[in-house]
Amino acid sequence: MLVLLIRWLVITMAILLASAILPGIHVASLTTAIIAAAILGIVNTFLRPVLLVLTLPLTLLTLGIFAFVLNALMLLLVAYFVPGFEIDGFFWAFMGALIISVVSWIANRFINKSNKKSQNTPPMNNRQKAEYIDLEQGDDGKWR
């Protein structure tokens, strides 16, 4: 749950950074950025995978560049639904999607590293090995 909140905060900060750098993206307030980040997360979770599968041939033909176009379209869709979050055109949406993607990617690299360190693994006894699963054949010939 904490990782989800951190990622939401990162996307919010990325939206605010994109609006500060690019003159074609306008965010009215911090609340608007928080709402936009939440809706962008929902859209990227449910709609984007479907669109990626449907446009897979085009994405392969353009060597993956069309995925950035889909990111820009998702950002324009969010701007359409969130009052106070405005994007002046597709070019600004494309540039904003690039900034948000890069910031999110960098932040997720740090989030994943800290998440791996915090996972507690139970101590292993002498029979358990992390590299393989040890099976034994029973009297009836079945492997257990």
Summarize pLDDT for 104-113 with one digit per residue, the tens: 999 888 887 6
Where on the phi/psi map is residue 28: left (φ > 0), alpha (ψ -120 to 50), or beta?
Answer: alpha
In a domain? residue 111: yes
The rounded distance, in Å, linking the Cα atoms of 60 and 39 is 28
Summarize pLDDT for 70-103 with one digit per residue, the tens: 999 999 999 999 999 999 999 999 999 999 999 9
The rounded distance, in Å, linking the Cα atoms of 38 and 55 is 25
pLDDT beyond 70 at 17: yes
In a domain? residue 135: no
Summarize pLDDT for 24-67 with one digit per residue, the tens: 999 999 999 999 999 999 999 999 999 999 999 999 999 999 99
In a domain? residue 46: yes
In a domain? residue 98: yes
Q: How many domains does the chain have?
A: 1
In a domain? residue 124: no
The boundaries of the domain holding residue 27 are 2-118
111-118: Cβ within 8 A, 24+ apart: 111/3, 111/6, 111/7, 111/10, 115/3
The pLDDT, as a whole number, for residue 113 is 67
The rounded distance, in Å, linking the Cα atoms of 86 and 24 is 8
pLDDT beyond 70 at 129: no
In a domain? residue 24: yes
Q: How far is CA 22 from CA 13, 27, 70, 111, 112, in A?
A: 14, 11, 19, 26, 29
In a domain? residue 132: no
The rounded distance, in Å, linking the Cα atoms of 64 and 72 is 14
The pLDDT, as a whole number, for residue 144 is 73
In a domain? residue 136: no
